[in-house]
């Protein structure tokens, strides 16, 4: 019942369609019984005309013809009514499917990073396809069949009781047995269908990961292992589907058996009634009774199928409700969000900010001021909290304690849309779409003021959605590509900016993907630009071009550059060193070198690695150098003094 209550808002939007459709079903079922009444009159009339008794009513050939026309007319009328019914109810179910898919997708767009960190892409896709189709089948064919069965039983039993209560009681005795067994099997169908759908989600997730990571699978030559795992998952799905079929399959056979027994009893008892009733129960009435009962055969057989459809639909709706019930940890809160804030300049302040992941403290008492227009560099060992610090600025999460302020406002009072419009992030592993380079760069630029997509409303009578052509400003796109050091690469492609990228941009190199993401962020002209180790896949010459471009666009906006390379950070206005979630050093490049701390030693390691780049033992990866430095500092804290006089090459091992 809870499932039906949660579905009611969607059904209510189409209640007129469902109501008219159900009325048509009832009329159609009533009209479908008329031919058996006309057959009864014909049989009894023919019997009376041939028995030689003048007192018995007979029938003429003209009357028989009219009865035949009545049978044809009743069938045609019932068929037309059922056609209109299907157009109403089935169309309503399709419209409801659209509305549910629209609302769930809109809801998913509002969920935050922590949710998608836990969610499986394959599972989400399966729920929006397989589960939603099961719900639509329940609301369409399932709904009108339920009404068809109920109204068919009511009208049929009313006619049968009017003919003979003795035979009707035999049919009535069979119904509780059928209902009892169906109730038991319905519970099993619900559970087993849910298990099968969960396995479907796992298979979809496995396939999605393999298709996305096909190059990794082939690179490690583990195709056979992946095929074996996929085979095992499919065998488990087969086992669960067979378990479902074992419950769902016998229903029709079982009911056919019960109906066969009922017909046998009706034939015996009905024949006896005809012989002993002295004309009170005629052959025509018996034929009408059997014909009416025959009309119940299909609904009775459909009970099992409809039970399965309904239970599968309800189980799938519960899975969809889980998506509806998911809530973002970070969201606008009425009464707290200040909608009067209209613009942001980029002045950031961290006031005693700490962040916990479970029992682990990732950031510890961060106090940091980044004036608007500052070019800030952040570095530190892997796992020191650099990326998390950037995520706090975008409100991908909220701090466990302390306050992050932007232009003096607590981030939690700034409307999320305004905040996200003001901040652009370039991650280390950017996501590109299977579209042209121009459209990928211009992806985050609003083309026009689009109307808000309304959810929870009927699609009936709704205006057509606006056409949203992807027409990026070519000059802005070109300039952003130049600033990101990507222009020469694009111009070398045969189709230039119209070059289509493969899924996730696989046709580009790692450095080209990073530069495309940088261009995508630059073209938005954000107040705050965050680059999270997004220069790690480019060479030093390309890095120099990108940094020159960043200095060109940094005027008037805050740029936060998270990196391990000292060459990347040295021209920043200020540099922050994070270690174990704490700010341990802060200052300009020259000031940090004078401190002779983590940053200075990192600079020495990378300078030595550059000098010894042809040595097999040299550390050429700046992140590896930072990790090596962190390990050495840990050794010092544990009282293990490294040999300061060892040769340069030994110090780098």
Q: Which 3 state secondary structure label does DSSP give 627?
A: helix
How is 100-162 classified by DSSP, letter by letter? HHHHHHHHHHT--HHHHHHS-HHHHHHIIIIIHHHHHHIIIIIHHHHHHHHHHHHHHHHHHHH
**Residue with token string 């590896």:** 624
Superfamily of domain 348-445+472-612: P-loop containing nucleotide triphosphate hydrolases (3.40.50.300)
The position carrying tokens 């305004």 is 418
What pLDDT is stored for residue 618 in this prediction?
Answer: 46
Instruction: Decide: 542 and 519 in contact? Cβ < 8 Å.
Output: no
Give every CB contact of residue 526 below 8 A, 6+ residues apart in sequence: 421, 422, 423, 424, 557
- CA dist 141 → 87, 182, 253 (Å): 11, 19, 21
Query: From CA 352, how far away is CA 401, in angstroms rounded?
Result: 7
Rounded to 10°, the helix 165-212/250-276 angle is 170
pLDDT of res. 621? 56
Q: Are 433 and 439 in contact (CB under 8 A)?
A: yes
Nearest Cα neighbor of 86 from 137, 25, 155 is 25
Nearest to 556 by CA among 590, 528, 524, 514: 528
Ordered strands of the 401-406 beta sheet: 360-370, 348-357, 401-406, 409-410
Can you name the residues that pair with 355 across neighbouring β-strands? 363
- What letter would DSSP give residue 462? P
* Domain parsing of the chain, residue ranges: 1-325, 348-445+472-612
Burial class (CB in 10 A: 0-12, 13-18, 19+), 396: middle
Fold of 1-325: ABC transporter transmembrane region fold (1.20.1560)
What is the three-class DSSP state of 57? coil
| Tens-digit pLDDT profile for residues 292-346 | 888 877 777 677 678 778 888 888 898 899 888 888 888 888 888 888 888 898 8
- Residue 71 · residue 78 · CB < 8 Å: no
- The three-state (H, E, C) secondary structure of 345-406, written as one string: CCCEEEEEEEEEECCEEEEEEEEEEECCCCEEEEECCCCCCHHHHHHHHCCCCCCCEEEEEE
The predicted pLDDT at position 216 comes to 77
**Which residue ranges in the chain fall short of pLDDT 70?**
1-3, 48-58, 179, 182-183, 186, 215, 251-252, 255, 301, 304, 446-451, 465-470, 609-653
Please give the helix or strand (H or E) that residue 187 lies within, else none.
helix 165-212
Bridge pairing between strands 528-532 and 558-562: parallel
Partnered with residue 405 across adjacent β-strands are 349, 410
* Phi (first) and psi of residue 595, to 5 degrees: -65, -25
Q: Which residues contact 384 (CB under 8 A, 6 or more apart)?
A: 578, 579, 580, 581
Burial environment of residue 198 by CB neighbours within 10 A (0 to 12, 13 to 18, 19 or more):
middle
């Amino acid at each position: 019942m809870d499932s039906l209550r949660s579905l009611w808002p969607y059904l209510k939007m189409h209640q007129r369609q469902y109501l008219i459709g159900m009325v048509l079903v009832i009329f159609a079922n009533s009209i479908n019984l008329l031919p058996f009444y006309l057959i009864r009159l014909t049989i009894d009339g023919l019997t009376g005309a041939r028995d030689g008794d003048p007192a018995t009513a007979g029938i003429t050939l003209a009357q028989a013809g009219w009865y035949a026309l009545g049978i044809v007319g009743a069938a045609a009328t019932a068929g037309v009514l059922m056609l209109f019914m299907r157009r109403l109810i089935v169309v309503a179910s399709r419209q409801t499917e659209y509305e549910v898919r629209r609302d769930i997708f809109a809801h998913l767009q509002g969920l935050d990073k922590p949710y998608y960190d836990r969610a499986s892409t394959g599972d989400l896709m399966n729920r929006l396809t397989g589960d939603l189709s099961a719900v639509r089948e329940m609301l369409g064919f399932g709904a009108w069949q339920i009404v068809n069965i109920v109204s068919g039983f009511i009208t049929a039993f009313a006619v049968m009781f009017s003919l003979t209560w003795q035979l009707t009681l035999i049919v009535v005795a069979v119904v509780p047995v059928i209902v009892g067994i169906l109730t038991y099997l319905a519970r099993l169908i619900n559970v087993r269908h849910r298990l099968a759908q969960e396995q479907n989600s796992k298979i979809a997730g496995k396939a999605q990961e393999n298709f996305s990571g096909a190059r990794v699978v082939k690179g490690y030559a583990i195709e056979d292992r992946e095929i074996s795992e996929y085979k095992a998952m499919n065998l488990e799905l087969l086992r669960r589907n067979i378990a479902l079929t074992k419950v769902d399959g016998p229903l029709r056979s079982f009911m056919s058996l019960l109906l066969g027994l009922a017909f046998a009893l009706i034939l015996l008892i009905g024949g006896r009634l005809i012989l002993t009733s002295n004309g009170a129960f005629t052959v025509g009435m018996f034929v009408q009774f059997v014909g009416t009962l025959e009309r119940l055969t299909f609904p009775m057989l459909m009970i099992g199928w409809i039970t399965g459809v309904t239970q599968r639909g309800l189980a799938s709706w519960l899975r969809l409700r889980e998506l509806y019930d998911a809530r973002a940890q970070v969201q606008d809160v009425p009464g707290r969000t200040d909608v009067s804030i209209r613009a942001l300049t980029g002045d950031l302040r961290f006031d005693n900010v700490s962040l916990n992941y479970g029992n682990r403290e990732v950031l510890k008492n961060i106090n940091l001021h980044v004036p608007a227009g500052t070019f800030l560099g952040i570095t530190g060992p892997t796992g020191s909290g650099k990326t998390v610090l950037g995520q706090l600025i975008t409100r991908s999460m909220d701090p466990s304690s302390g306050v992050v302020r932007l232009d003096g406002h607590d981030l939690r009072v700034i409307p999320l849309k305004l905040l996200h419009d003001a901040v652009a992030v370039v991650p280390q592993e950017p996501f590109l779409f299977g579209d042209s380079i121009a459209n990928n760069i211009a992806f985050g630029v609003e083309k026009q003021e689009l109307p808000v997509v309304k959810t929870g409303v009927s699609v009936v009578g709704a205006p057509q959605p606006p056409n949203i052509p992807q027409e990026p400003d070519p000059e802005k796109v070109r300039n952003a590509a130049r600033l990101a050091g990507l222009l020469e690469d694009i111009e070398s492609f045969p189709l230039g900016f119209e070059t289509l990228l493969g899924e996730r941009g696989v046709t580009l190199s790692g450095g080209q993907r990073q530069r495309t993401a940088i261009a995508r962020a630059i073209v938005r002209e954000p107040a705050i630009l965050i680059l999270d180790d997004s220069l790690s896949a480019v060479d030093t010459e390309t890095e120099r071009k990108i940094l020159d471009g960043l200095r060109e666009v940094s005027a008037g906006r805050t740029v936060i550059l998270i990196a391990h390379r000292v060459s990347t950070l040295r021209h920043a206005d200020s540099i922050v060193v994070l270690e174990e979630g704490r700010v341990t050093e802060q200052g300009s490049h020259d000031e940090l070198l004078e401190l002779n701390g983590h940053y200075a030693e990192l600079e020495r390691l990378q300078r030595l690695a550059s000098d010894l780049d042809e040595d097999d033992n040299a550390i050429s990866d700046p992140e590896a150098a930072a990790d090596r430095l962190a390990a050495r500092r840990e050794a010092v804290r544990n009282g293990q003094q490294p040999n300061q006089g060892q040769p340069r090459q030994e110090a780098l091992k």
